Chains A and B, each alone.
Chain A
Amino acid sequence: MSTLLEVSGLTKSFFGVTVLHGVDFVVRPGEALGLVGENGSGKSTSMNILGGVHRPEAGTMRLDGQAYAPQNPKDAISAGIAFIHQELNLFPNLSVEENLFVDAFPRWNGLPFIDRRAIRAQTEAVLHEVDLDIRPSTPVARLSQGERQLVEIAKALSRKARLIIFDEPTTSLTRPEVDRLFGIIAKLKARGIGIIYISHALEDVLAVCDSIAVLRDGHLAGAGPASEMPIGRMISLMVGRSIDTIYPDRQTAPGKQVVLAVEALSQPGVAEKISLEVRAGEIVGLAGLMGSGRSELARMIFGLDRFASGTIRVNGQPLDDPTPEKAIEAGIAFLTEDRRGEGLLMDFTIAENTVIASLDSVAGPLGILDNKRIASVSREMGRSMHLSTDKVEETRVKHLSGGNQQKVVIGKWLRREPTLFILDEPTRGIDVGAKQEVYRIINALTARGSGVLLISSEIEELIGLSDRILTISRGEIVAEFNNRPFDREAIMAAATGQRAWEGASA
Chain B
Amino acid sequence: MAEQRQSLSVALREKRWIWPLLGFLVLWAILTALTARFSLSSLTGVAQSAAFLLLPALGQMLVVTTGRGNIDLSIPSTVTLAAYLTVLSSSGSEAGFGVTLVLVLALGLLAGAFNAGLVLLLRIPAMIATLASGYILATATLSVNARIGSFAKPPLLAWLATGRVSGVPVMVIIAVVATVLFAVLLGRSAWGRKLFAVGQSVEAARLAGVRVWAVTASTFVLSAVLSSLTGMLLAGYASGAFLEMGTPYLLQSVGAVVLGGTLIAGGSATAFGTLLGGLLLVMIVTTMQVAGLPPGAQDILQGIVIIAVLSVAGGRMGRRLS
Residues in A lying within 8 Å of B, measured CB to CB: 302, 304, 324-325, 327-329, 334, 336, 338, 341-348, 352, 356-357, 359-360, 363, 366-369, 371, 396, 412
Q: Are B204 and A345 in contact, with the CB atoms below 8 A?
A: yes
Q: Are A324 and B207 in contact, with the CB atoms below 8 A?
A: yes
Show 15 residue pairs from A and B whose CB-CB distance is below 8 angstroms, ordered by the A residue: A302-B207, A328-B209, A343-B204, A345-B208, A347-B200, A356-B205, A356-B208, A357-B209, A359-B190, A359-B193, A359-B194, A366-B189, A367-B190, A369-B189, A412-B208
| Interface residue B196 (Cβ < 8 Å from any Cβ of A) | yes
Q: Are B204 and A341 in contact, with the CB atoms below 8 A?
A: yes
Contact of A345 among B189, B190, B201, B209 (CB under 8 A): B201
B residues 285-322 with Cβ under 8 Å of A?
320-321
| Interface residue B210 (Cβ < 8 Å from any Cβ of A) | yes
Q: Are B197 and A325 in contact, with the CB atoms below 8 A?
A: no
Given A304-B206, A347-B268, answer yes or no on A356-B193 (Cβ-Cβ < 8 Å): yes
Q: Are B203 and A369 in contact, with the CB atoms below 8 A?
A: no
Inside 8 A of A371's CB, which chain B residues have their CB? 188
Inside 8 A of B184's CB, which chain A residues have their CB? 368
Which among B193, B203, B321 has the highest number of chain A CB atoms within 10 Å? B193
A296 to chain B, nearest CB (A): 15
What count of chain B residues pass the 8 Å CB interface test? 24
| Interface residue B164 (Cβ < 8 Å from any Cβ of A) | no
B residues 87-116 with Cβ under 8 Å of A?
none
Inside 8 A of A304's CB, which chain B residues have their CB? 206-207
Inside 8 A of B200's CB, which chain A residues have their CB? 345-348
Inside 8 A of A396's CB, which chain B residues have their CB? 321
Given A347-B200, A347-B268, A347-B320, answer yes or no on A334-B207 (Cβ-Cβ < 8 Å): yes
Q: Are A342 and B209 in contact, with the CB atoms below 8 A?
A: no
Residues in B lying within 8 Å of A, measured CB to CB: 184, 188-191, 193-194, 196-197, 200-201, 203-211, 267-268, 320-321
Inside 8 A of B201's CB, which chain A residues have their CB? 341-342, 345-346
B209 to chain A, nearest CB (A): 4
Q: Are A325 and B211 in contact, with the CB atoms below 8 A?
A: yes
B216 to chain A, nearest CB (A): 15
Q: Are B207 and A336 in contact, with the CB atoms below 8 A?
A: yes
A366→B206 CA distance, assembly (Å): 23
Which among A346, A348, A356 has the highest number of chain B CB atoms within 10 Å? A356
Instruction: Identify the 8 closest CB pairs spanning chains A and B, nearest first.
Output: A359-B190, A328-B209, A357-B208, A342-B203, A367-B190, A356-B208, A325-B209, A363-B190
B217 to chain A, nearest CB (A): 15
A356→B208 CA distance, assembly (Å): 7
Q: Are A369 and B190 in contact, with the CB atoms below 8 A?
A: yes
A456→B197 CA distance, assembly (Å): 28
A439→B188 CA distance, assembly (Å): 35
A327→B189 CA distance, assembly (Å): 23
Inside 8 A of A343's CB, which chain B residues have their CB? 204, 207
A323→B196 CA distance, assembly (Å): 21
Q: Are A356 and B189 in contact, with the CB atoms below 8 A?
A: no
A210→B99 CA distance, assembly (Å): 83
Contact of B188 among A346, A369, A412 (CB under 8 A): A369
A338→B206 CA distance, assembly (Å): 13
Inside 8 A of B267's CB, which chain A residues have their CB? 347
A395→B194 CA distance, assembly (Å): 19
Inside 8 A of B194's CB, which chain A residues have their CB? 356, 359
